[in-house]
């Protein structure tokens, strides 16, 4: 019995030793290991590289010149000499107006000018005669000479005023003849013979377009405005002629961004042989962009965008920090970024705003 009692106490003591050993050694070690564990995160090293990308932009074909023709004086359409689709030359008569009051006023002003001219010629002749006679002392009184000179000058002023008035009414009479301002095509005609026209008409009489050269205008987003096209010549297509590619040459840039859509208008010129393309057509143009110097291009997943900002997450001494960036050109699944970045920085590959600044990570490349 005594032997059994001793064995029981020995077994109990051994169990207590094991329990004490596990509680004092293994427990604190596990807690310490758990507390000292640092997560790893996928990262990459930031570096600069050459950037080239081909981008497609929608555009519109516009005429080189376009004029809406209105009447400058009120009158009725007497004759129309053109219709839509007709080609016209610069200065060609396209319509004639009938305005009897304009013709009557011109005739009256012409008569007044002729009368003023006659009076001036008469007073000028009289002054010359008196001036010649006055060369002999005592022949003509000094007062008579001054009176004759004053009358001549008065008639001269009246004649000049009549000539100026005549030029005005002559110009008004010329407005009755409507001429083409440049060589082009009549694309709209909104009047018929007998129609009353004037300066208050809502619609123009005619619309003339010069389509021998077309302007291709493209809205270029702000991110692309500082990039340089690989060539001044671009290729574009139109839906009316599928499968055919056309070429246009860069002519000018607007030099400012639109406040509506934050784009800059670039204009390309296309020589429209045989008038195959029409103004007003929509076009799809492809432009190859490139930077003159290497730039930062990173995976799209590295850029975090929320309601407040756009940023990337940089690891510095294994601790995170947010760096604000601006997007540029986006080739494929990558994006060009601008910000307070340095080549060789370690960035997190898949950023999220749940990763707060100051959090420690082990970079995993």
Of 175, 190, 225, which residue constitutes the final position of a domain? 175
CATH number for the domain including 259? 2.40.30.170
Distance, in Å, from the CA atom of 301 to the CA atom of 250, rounded to the nearest integer, reads: 35
Asked if residue 8 is part of any domain, the answer here is no
Distance, in Å, from the CA atom of 205 to the CA atom of 195, rounded to the nearest integer, reads: 10
Return all residues near 146 (Cβ < 8 A) that are at least 6 apart. Answer: none
Extract the tokens encoding 326: 């601006």
Contact 205, 197 (CB under 8 A): yes
Asked if residue 353 is part of any domain, the answer here is yes
184 with 245, same domain: the answer is no
Distance, in Å, from the CA atom of 348 to the CA atom of 356, rounded to the nearest integer, reads: 12
The Cα-based distances of 110 to 31, 107, 159, 273, 316 in angstroms read 114, 5, 11, 49, 92
Containing structural domain, residue 348? 41-50+294-364
146 with 196, same domain: the answer is no
91 with 188, same domain: the answer is yes
Asked if residue 24 is part of any domain, the answer here is no
| pLDDT tens over the chain, length 365 residues | 444 344 444 444 444 444 444 444 444 444 444 445 678 899 999 998 888 788 899 999 999 999 999 998 889 999 999 999 999 999 999 999 998 888 788 888 888 888 888 888 888 888 888 888 777 777 777 777 788 888 888 988 988 898 888 888 888 888 899 999 999 999 999 999 999 998 888 899 999 999 999 999 999 988 888 777 877 899 999 999 998 999 999 999 999 998 888 899 999 999 998 888 999 999 999 988 877 788 899 999 999 998 889 999 999 999 999 999 988 888 778 888 989 999 999 999 999 989 999 999 988 88
Contact 165, 157 (CB under 8 A): no
pTM (predicted TM-score): 0.65
Asked if residue 14 is part of any domain, the answer here is no
340 with 312, same domain: the answer is yes
CATH number for the domain including 156? 1.10.287
CATH number for the domain including 82? 2.40.50.100
Asked if residue 6 is part of any domain, the answer here is no
255 with 165, same domain: the answer is no
222 with 246, same domain: the answer is yes
344 with 254, same domain: the answer is no
Placement of tokens 């139109």 in the chain = 238
pLDDT of residue 30: 46
298 with 244, same domain: the answer is no
Distance, in Å, from the CA atom of 339 to the CA atom of 311, rounded to the nearest integer, reads: 9
Extract the tokens encoding 258: 């639109």
Q: How many domains does the chain have?
A: 4
Asked if residue 147 is part of any domain, the answer here is yes
Asked if residue 190 is part of any domain, the answer here is yes
Return all residues near 352 (Cβ < 8 A) that are at least 6 apart. Answer: 304
Asked if residue 358 is part of any domain, the answer here is yes
86 with 112, same domain: the answer is no
Of 290, 317, 349, which residue constitutes the final position of a domain? 290
128 with 111, same domain: the answer is yes
162 with 264, same domain: the answer is no
Of 175, 194, 222, which residue constitutes the final position of a domain? 175
310 with 357, same domain: the answer is yes
Q: To 10 degrees, the CA torsion angle through 365, 331, 288, 239?
A: 160
């Amino acid at each position: 019995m005594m032997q059994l009692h001793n064995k029981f106490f020995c077994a109990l003591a051994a169990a207590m030793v094991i329990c004490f050993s596990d509680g004092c050694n293994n427990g604190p070690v596990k807690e310490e290991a758990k507390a000292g564990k640092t997560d790893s995160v996928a990262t990459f090293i930031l570096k600069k590289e050459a950037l080239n990308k081909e981008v497609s932009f929608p555009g519109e074909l516009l005429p080189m010149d376009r004029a809406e023709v209105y009447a400058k004086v009120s009158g009725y359409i007497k004759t129309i000499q053109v219709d839509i689709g007709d080609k016209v030359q610069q200065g060609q008569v396209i319509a004639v107006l009938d305005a009897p009051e304009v013709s009557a006023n011109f005739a009256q002003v012409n008569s007044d000018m002729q009368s003023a001219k006659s009076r001036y010629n008469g007073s000028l002749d009289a002054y010359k005669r008196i001036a010649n006679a006055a060369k002999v002392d005592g022949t003509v009184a000094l007062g008579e000479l001054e009176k004759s000179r004053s009358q001549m000058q008065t008639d001269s002023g009246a004649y000049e005023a009549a000539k100026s008035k005549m030029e005005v009414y002559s110009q008004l009479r010329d407005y009755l003849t409507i001429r083409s301002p440049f060589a082009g095509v009549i694309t709209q005609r909104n009047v018929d013979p007998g129609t009353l026209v004037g300066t208050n008409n809502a619609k123009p009489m005619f619309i003339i377009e010069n389509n021998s050269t077309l302007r291709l205008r493209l809205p270029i987003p702000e991110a692309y405005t500082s990039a340089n096209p690989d060539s001044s010549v671009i290729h574009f297509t139109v839906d009316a002629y599928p499968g055919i590619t056309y070429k246009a040459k860069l002519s000018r840039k607007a030099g400012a961004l639109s406040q509506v859509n934050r784009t800059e208008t670039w204009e390309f010129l296309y020589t429209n042989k045989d008038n195959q393309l029409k103004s007003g057509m929509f076009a799809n143009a492809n432009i190859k962009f490139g930077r003159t110097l290497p730039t930062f291009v990173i995976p799209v997943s590295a850029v975090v965008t929320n309601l407040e900002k756009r940023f990337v997450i940089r690891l510095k001494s294994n601790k995170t920090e947010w760096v604000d960036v601006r997007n540029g050109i986006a080739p494929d699944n990558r994006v060009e970024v601008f910000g307070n970045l340095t080549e060789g920085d370690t960035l997190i590959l898949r950023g999220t705003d749940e990763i707060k600044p100051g959090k420690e990570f082990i970079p995993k490349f």
